[in-house]
Amino acid sequence: MDALRLGDFEIVERVAGARRPLKASYPVHYGTFCQVGEGPYRCRFLPSGAVKYLWGHGERHWPHPGEWLKHTLGDDWIYYSAGDYEGLFSLYGEHQLPCPAYPSNSPLDPRPFADERVRAALEWFASLPERLGRLAGRAPPRLAATLEAISRHTPAGLARRARRLHDICGGRLAVLPPEARHLDYDVVPLTVADGCLYGCRFCCLESPGRLRPRSPDDVADQLERLRRLLGADLPEYAGVFAGNHDGLAAGWELVVQAARRAWEVLELAGSHLAPRLLVLFASADALLSVSEEGWRQLAALPFQVHVNIGLESAHPEILERLGKPLTPARVERALARLLEINQRFVNLEISANFVLPPEPRLLRLQEQSLVETLRRLCPRRRSRGAVYLSPLLPPQGPPARGFGRRRLIDSVGRLKLRCPLPVFLYLIQGL
């Protein structure tokens, strides 16, 4: 990379990052960037001028050389921790642990934003766009245009962009499907339905109300506005989240129509990244209502399609405690359908969510019922159709008594050994 010195800054006008997400144990940045360095800090900006990555070097200024901050379209900073955690890849399927500044369900909870070195890096960035803008007049023409674009993406400008995003899709997205991790959570949110079918008591999301599918015209309007919002960054996205909490309940016809239109309007064929993903949530009833033709059309989309269903438990007492209006028989039927679909289609994969209750007795019941149900339905191990486990941790403060980090990791380890499907912890991240 040839760097240009401009004042106190070292600038590399174009840096080509990875094109395909890698399950690597070293830092991997995805996309095309302008890189700016000053002192111990480095920052990478997207073609639009919006920041994407920020990190430092040297023990005095940065916690770990293999860690970094990432900024999201929803105006959140996520710290990627390499950690010293036992079996991190085994737990999450990733070598780095994304740590949002907001409360999450991660039992590891390293709290990087309490580190003064991370706070100092964010303070350095706060004035960076304006300072770079003042240098534009001294830069070569093409770089000057880049610096001017960066100068418009101050912290206030990034917050305005996030408000536009949330206005387009109908509000902040509290949670993305777990398979969004395969594109490092960089998916374009497209709302096809509001609300959900169930309204479970345990749900920590804002009450979404009854299910209300969006109209095709509304979907088309969202896509046009999203295209304008992303602008020069369109090629940096290769995934779509057909949201929100139960996208498949909008009907497979609307999902297929929305996905095809998104492919065209967002110009996903020209994306710099691969694979192209369509991710969405589904309830058990939405999953079971899809016709044979529906599955064929979903599988024929120009995406790798990932559907994540919230089942939570196969045990009647736990379902009752959660306020989940499903029976074990209905859960088992949905799992049987999951296994069948995953066997038949290459470009379509269904995963399932189950909770980990904090009470030791319920945790044992959950493990037993999950293992017995899956072994009955699937006698042999399979590599597709993961089971994601969501710890029912309090939103703030320490876990419930008896449900510390060790107990959780032991539970996941037992399930990984005994279940015939891949098992991972579900790390909730929003947008």
Residue with the two structure tokens 């990627």: 80
Q: How many CB atoms lie within 10 A of CB 324?
A: 23
Burial class (CB in 10 A: 0-12, 13-18, 19+), 22: exposed
Within 8 A by CB and 6+ apart from 140, the residues are 4
Q: Are residues 329 and 284 in contact, defined by beta-carbon separation less than 8 angstroms?
A: no
Q: List beta partners, residue 38.
A: 41
Q: Is 308 helix (H, G, I), strand (E, B) or coil?
A: strand
Q: Are residues 35 and 42 in contact, defined by beta-carbon separation less than 8 angstroms?
A: yes
DSSP character for 247? G
Provide the pLDDT for residue 400.
44
- Nearest partner of 268 among 307, 304, 300, 240, judged by Cα: 240
Residue with the two structure tokens 């029976």: 327
Within 8 A by CB and 6+ apart from 385, the residues are 338, 339, 342, 349, 350, 351, 352, 421, 422
Provide the pLDDT for residue 83.
67
Q: Where along the chain do its domains lie?
A: 4-151, 170-425
Provide the pLDDT for residue 394.
53
When the candidates are 3.20.20.70, 3.10.105.10, 3.30.470.20, 3.90.1150.10, the CATH number that belongs to 170-425 is 3.20.20.70
In the chain, the N- to C-terminal Cα span, in Å, equals 32
Provide the pLDDT for residue 312.
96
Q: Are residues 175 and 103 in contact, defined by beta-carbon separation less than 8 angstroms?
A: no
51-56 sheet: strands from edge to edge: 4-6, 9-16, 32-38, 41-45, 51-56, 68-71, 77-81, 97-100
Helix (H) or strand (E) holding 116: helix 116-134
Helix (H) or strand (E) holding 2: none
Burial class (CB in 10 A: 0-12, 13-18, 19+), 412: buried
Q: How far is CA 370 from the centre of its chain?
A: 25
Pairing of strands 304-312, 277-282: parallel
| Cα gap 122→77, rounded to integer Å | 9
Pairing of strands 97-100, 9-16: unpaired
Within 8 A by CB and 6+ apart from 427, the residues are 92, 97, 98, 104, 105, 106, 178, 181
| Cα gap 93→88, rounded to integer Å | 8
Within 8 A by CB and 6+ apart from 376, the residues are none
Alpha helical stretches, state H, 11-93: 88-92
Q: List the chain pLDDT tens, one digit each, 431 residues.
A: 578 899 899 999 999 888 887 887 777 888 889 999 999 999 999 999 999 999 999 989 999 998 999 999 999 999 999 865 557 888 888 888 899 988 776 777 678 999 999 999 999 999 999 999 999 989 899 899 999 999 999 999 999 999 999 999 999 998 999 999 999 999 999 999 998 877 666 666 555 668 899 999 999 999 999 999 999 999 999 999 999 999 999 999 999 999 999 999 999 999 988 899 999 999 999 999 999 999 999 999 999 999 999 999 999 999 999 989 999 999 999 999 999 999 999 999 999 999 999 888 999 999 999 999 999 999 999 999 999 999 886 544 444 444 567 788 889 999 999 999 999 999 889 99
